Amino acid sequence: MIHVTKTFLPDQKEYNAILKKAWDTSWITNRGDLVKKLENQIKEKYHIDHIIATTNGTLPLQLAIKGLGLRGEIITTPFSYIATASSIVWENCKPVFVDIDRETYNIDATKIEAAITEDTKAIIATHVFGNPCDVEAIEGIANKHGLKTIYDAAHAFGVEHKGKSIFSYGDISTCSFHATKIFHTGEGGALFANNETLHEHMYHLHNFGHNGPEAFHGLGINAKMSELQGAMGLTILPYIDQIIEKRKAAYAHYKELLKNTSLGFQKILENTKYNYSYIPVLFENEAQLLRVIEGLNHANIFPRRYFYPALNMVNYLQGQEMPIAESISKRILCLPLFYDLTKEQIETISIIIKEKLS
């Protein structure tokens, strides 16, 4: 069976060797040496000033909304994972969708201004499949209208734009280190704030608001990463460049084999060092997509309709029409892409797709 993704795991001995440090000290959570070491390694590798490791990739989105004190309308994308929009609702704000660009699948920055009202407080945009949003255009709009920007960079580990880590854009960026993501800690994530004051505020927020053992800065919650997760991160991080290289080769192989077909591919923003975290292909219509899925499933291959449905079609988010996101979400499919996917497997998958297309 071939699934859309497969969690990268090196030799278990490597994990055990790092985990032993937690055993030796009986310190398995509350920001021990392993989590701090992981944070430092990520900061150094990607030249980032601030990071807070978290227990998953959803809490940092909720923390960002809470920590920036947002109340009211938040402009966001209808083409993302549910966590982007559910976090807005969970924090008692109102998601206002802006449709996406047909080629990049990211929020269409040229349509944002028309959606701004007196109640708009922020923009939360997703770097869809790791492809950076038009961060310059969004920054310009945010500055002009006094809005905060949060980037859901759950897919974007290792991505750079104009020579800078994608995590350094916006007031806050968040990432997911879930087992299905390109870099993972089993469950996990991170929050990246763009200045020291905001970082400190977010840091308190993620640890119950603690100011020492007996005092509090204010309201907080528990979003801490454990040492067990930290150990997993330290095991995987040394492989990340290799993981991206392997995916890059697989991505190129798919594109070569599928180039003379009617399939569409995502357009990656210029000046980007991409991470090849997904290979989405766009069909002409949903019937074609369903035929291909059926053919692949028959051969025990399980791609994923990602993202489907468009978020404005989810029951508690309904009421705004997003024609482009709705159309693309019905026609897009993420093909299997992971570290040890072989050339032969890519060929098999491509042959089935081409057969079903014709």
Ligand X SMILES: *Cc1c(COP(=O)(O)O)cnc(C)c1O
Q: Which is nearer to ligand X, 56 or 350 (CB)?
A: 56
Rg (CA), the chain: 21
Tokens of 158: 């290792």
Which listed range, 21-29, 75-83, 288-296, 322-330, lies at the site for ligand X (CB under 6 A)? 75-83
Catalytic residue among 66, 148, 181, 246: 181
Is 189 a binder of ligand X (CB under 6 A)? Answer: yes
State the nearest-atom distance from the C-beta of 132 to ligand X, in Å.
14
Q: Which is nearer to ligand X, 64 or 258 (CB)?
A: 64
Which candidate, 126, 65, 120, 68, places its Cα nearest to that of 90?
A: 65
Q: Order the strands of the 120-126 sheet from edge to edge.
A: 52-54, 189-193, 172-176, 148-152, 120-126, 73-76, 94-97
Determine which helix (DSSP H) or strand (DSSP E) holds 59, and give its type and residue range. helix 59-67
In contact, 275 and 182? CB cutoff 8 Å: yes
State the nearest-atom distance from the C-beta of 12 to ligand X, in Å.
23
Q: Which is nearer to ligand X, 237 or 258 (CB)?
A: 237
d(C-alpha 61, C-alpha 125), whole Å: 11
Size of the site for ligand X (CB under 6 A): 14
Strand partners, 332: 282
DSSP secondary structure letters along 253-283: HHHHHTTTSS-EEPPPPSSEE------EEE-
Binding to ligand X (CB under 6 A) within 127-156 occurs at 152, 154-155
Is 46 a binder of ligand X (CB under 6 A)? Answer: no
Which listed range, 65-73, 77-85, 293-301, 333-341, lies at the site for ligand X (CB under 6 A)? 77-85
Is 259 noted as a catalytic residue in this protein? no
Is 207 a binder of ligand X (CB under 6 A)? Answer: no
Is 233 a binder of ligand X (CB under 6 A)? Answer: no
Q: Which is nearer to ligand X, 106 or 235 (CB)?
A: 106
Which listed range, 76-84, 98-106, 197-205, 334-342, lies at the site for ligand X (CB under 6 A)? 76-84
For residue 137, count other CB atoms closer than 10 A to its CB: 14
Is 58 a binder of ligand X (CB under 6 A)? Answer: yes
Is 56 a binder of ligand X (CB under 6 A)? Answer: yes
In contact, 77 and 107? CB cutoff 8 Å: yes
Is 83 a binder of ligand X (CB under 6 A)? Answer: yes
State the nearest-atom distance from the C-beta of 144 to ligand X, in Å.
26
Is 126 a binder of ligand X (CB under 6 A)? Answer: yes
Which residue's Cβ lies closest to ligand X? 57
d(C-alpha 3, C-alpha 309), whole Å: 20
* Amino acid, res. 148: K
In contact, 339 and 275? CB cutoff 8 Å: no
* Amino acid, res. 13: K
Binding to ligand X (CB under 6 A) within 239-268 occurs at none
State the nearest-atom distance from the C-beta of 86 to ligand X, in Å.
9
Is 311 a binder of ligand X (CB under 6 A)? Answer: no
Strand partners, 281: 265, 333
State the nearest-atom distance from the C-beta of 228 to ligand X, in Å.
15
Which listed range, 68-76, 79-87, 95-103, 193-201, lies at the site for ligand X (CB under 6 A)? 79-87
d(C-alpha 198, C-alpha 185), whole Å: 25
d(C-alpha 131, C-alpha 128), whole Å: 5
Q: Which is nearer to ligand X, 258 or 269 (CB)?
A: 269
Is 84 a binder of ligand X (CB under 6 A)? Answer: yes
Mark 95-127 as b/e (b = at least 16 C-beta within 10 Å).
bbbbbbbeebbbbbbeebeebbeeebbbbbbbb
Which residues here bind ligand X, judged by CB under 6 A? 56-58, 80-81, 83-84, 126, 152, 154-155, 176, 178, 189
Active site residues: 181
